[in-house]
């Protein structure tokens, strides 16, 4: 049971777990029943100042360490994560409401895989030689940017911790990371494991705190040379504005309103199952969720018949129950927000085909649960334009490619989208014209440490994962060497 688990509750600064400067605390709740899991130290400006100072103190030695040695430490850390899979998965399920079958089978393995990927990439980061005029050598070296601030969200905290830390550390940077105030427990466990495997003091610092206080201060901090943030588009704008003080580099992975297109030649059973995963996995709390189902009018009824049956069969329940397929949303405040969108859908004339309410099961009454919800709506309705971030999917029909592309691209977002078709030419044609950072064809929500993850437009800029992410944590330095050229005398008039 949760009561038998011991959680780390202090800040991690300069290689030690410490209390916060002013004694502030954050109450961490179990979204299954809203019982208290822990009280965690709340970082404020004085704590972040200490963390930034510790990171800069550690930076020269960490940067100078052989890249292969940094890589070996990251690989050792990946092994430690795998060795603690059950513990990390349990913490993550208790803290977020994500079913244990997914935290154990997806989240923690993906976390280990990301650190392992960047451990292997640490000594693959190389510069280049530029062909210049005879007598000179010009080479370009890639250098770490310094101390980076990283802010991770509450929906996949342990996985996003690896997405942020992995490329930054591999490239030779030091890190000050702020986990979300709702879900700090797995990130603090990560800090325990980092200390156990031997990361030098100050290389990683973890400071749970509230966004408007700790997050804002981290974004503004003159000692931070890059800020990397995953979260809402509205908060991303604030992060970008706050970072302008010292012109720090900014990477933003923000909201999404993914179009999931099903053409009339699609493999319907595959599309139905894949579309359910696209929206109901992690209770729909994913920026890349396929939250807009766009169905060709010739197959819409057949698709919906199977999709609604599948959605109705999803087992809601305690995240620690291995049979649970969908757990609670991560907080009561967010549950109420999602339920409000159900009200908005009805007010706009949408037809709620299934769900649209909290479950009636008394065993779930004290938790943050929302039933799988499917709503027939028009493309310009609020529920088709705004990110709901829950188990809530809209359904709209279309006649042809031009119409569906117009609908799919008609949002402020541009993170991910998908399509289902047997026509290879159509698949590439549509993928080319979707205005998104990622496209899935006959699948959805596939991720890999080697594949860049990020969006365009209101979904942000910069990338997590892939070699692109590692490059984003470096800056190029151009070095000129006079090999044999004679220098002309200074000309005077």
CATH architecture of the region 259-441: 3-Layer(aba) Sandwich (3.40)
| Residues of the chain falling short of pLDDT 70 | 1-3, 488-493
Q: Would you state the pLDDT for residue 492?
A: 53
> What pLDDT score was predicted for residue 69?
98
- Alpha-carbon distances of 463 from 125, 253, 308, 361, rounded to whole Å: 17, 7, 35, 41
Catalytic residue list: 253, 287
What pLDDT score was predicted for residue 23?
Answer: 81
Q: What are the tens digits of pLDDT across the range 179-209?
A: 999 999 999 999 999 999 999 999 999 999 9
β 373-376/351-354 pair status: antiparallel
Q: Give the full edge-to-edge strand order of the sheet including 147-151.
A: 16-18, 11-13, 204-206, 174-178, 147-151, 226-230, 249-253, 460-461
What are the residue boundaries of the structural domains of the chain, listed by start?
2-254+455-478, 259-441
Q: What per-residue confidence (pLDDT) applies to 479?
A: 98
Position 22 scores a pLDDT of 87
Cα 136 to chain centroid distance, Å, stands at 44
> What's the Rg (C-alpha) of the chain?
24
DSSP string, 380-413: TSHHHHS---SSEEEEEEESSHHHHHHHHT-SS-
Fold of 2-254+455-478: Aldehyde Dehydrogenase; Chain A, domain 1 (3.40.605)
> pLDDT tens digit string along 112-167?
999 999 999 999 999 999 999 999 999 999 999 999 999 999 999 999 999 999 99
- The pLDDT value given to residue 1: 43
Distance CA 393, CA 374 (A): 5
pLDDT at position 490 is 66
- Segment 292-328, tens digit of pLDDT: 999 999 999 999 999 999 999 999 999 999 999 999 9
């Amino acid at each position: 049971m949760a009561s038998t688990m011991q959680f780390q509750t202090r800040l991690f600064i300069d290689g030690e777990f410490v209390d916060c400067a002013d004694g502030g605390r954050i109450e961490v709740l179990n979204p299954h029943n809203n019982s208290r899991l822990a009280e965690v130290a709340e970082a404020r400006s004085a704590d972040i100042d200490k963390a930034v100072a510790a990171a800069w103190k550690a930076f020269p030695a960490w940067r100078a360490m052989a890249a292969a040695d940094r890589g070996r430490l990251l690989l050792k850390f990946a092994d430690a994560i795998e060795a603690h899979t059950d513990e990390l998965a349990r913490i993550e399920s208790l803290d977020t409401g994500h079913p244990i079958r997914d935290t154990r089978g997806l989240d923690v393995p993906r976390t280990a895989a990301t650190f392992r990927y960047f451990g292997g990439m640490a000594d693959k980061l190389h510069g280049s030689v530029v062909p210049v005029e005879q007598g000179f050598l010009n080479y370009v070296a890639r250098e770490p940017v310094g101390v980076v601030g990283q802010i991770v969200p509450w929906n996949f905290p342990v996985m996003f911790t690896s997405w942020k830390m992995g490329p930054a550390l591999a490239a030779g940077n030091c890190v000050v990371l702020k986990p979300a105030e709702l879900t700090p427990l797995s990130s603090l466990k990560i800090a325990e494991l980092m200390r156990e495997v031997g990361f030098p003091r100050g290389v990683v610092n973890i400071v749970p705190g509230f966004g408007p206080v700790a997050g804002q201060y981290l974004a503004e901090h003159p000692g931070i040379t890059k800020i990397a943030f995953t979260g809402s588009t509205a908060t991303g704008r604030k992060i970008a504005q706050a970072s302008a003080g010292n012109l720090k580099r900014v990477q933003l992975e923000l909201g999404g309103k993914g179009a999931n297109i099903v053409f009339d030649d699609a493999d319907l059973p595959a599309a139905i199952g894949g579309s359910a995963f696209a929206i109901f996995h992690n209770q729909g709390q994913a920026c890349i969720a396929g939250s807009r189902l766009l169905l060709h009018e010739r197959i819409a009824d057949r698709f919906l018949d199977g999709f609604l049956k599948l959605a109705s069969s999803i087992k809601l329940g305690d995240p620690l129950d291995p049979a649970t397929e969908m757990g609670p949303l991560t907080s009561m405040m967010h549950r109420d927000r999602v339920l409000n969108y159900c009200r908005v859908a009805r007010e706009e004339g949408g037809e709620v085909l299934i769900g649209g309410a909290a479950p009636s099961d008394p065993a779930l009454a004290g938790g943050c649960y929302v039933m799988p919800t499917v709503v027939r709506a028009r493309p310009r309705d609020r529920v088709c334009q705004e990110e709901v971030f829950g188990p809530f999917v809209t359904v709209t029909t279309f006649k042809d490619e031009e119409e569906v592309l117009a609908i799919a691209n008609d949002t402020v977002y541009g993170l991910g989208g998908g399509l289902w078709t047997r026509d290879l030419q159509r698949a590439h044609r549509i993928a080319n014209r979707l205005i998104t950072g990622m496209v899935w064809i006959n699948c959805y929500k596939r991720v890999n440490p080697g594949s860049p993850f990020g969006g365009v437009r209101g979904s942000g800029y910069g990338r997590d994962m892939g070699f692109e992410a590692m490059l984003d944590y470096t800056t190029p330095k151009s070095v000129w060497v006079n090999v044999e050229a004679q220098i002309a005398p200074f000309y005077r008039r």
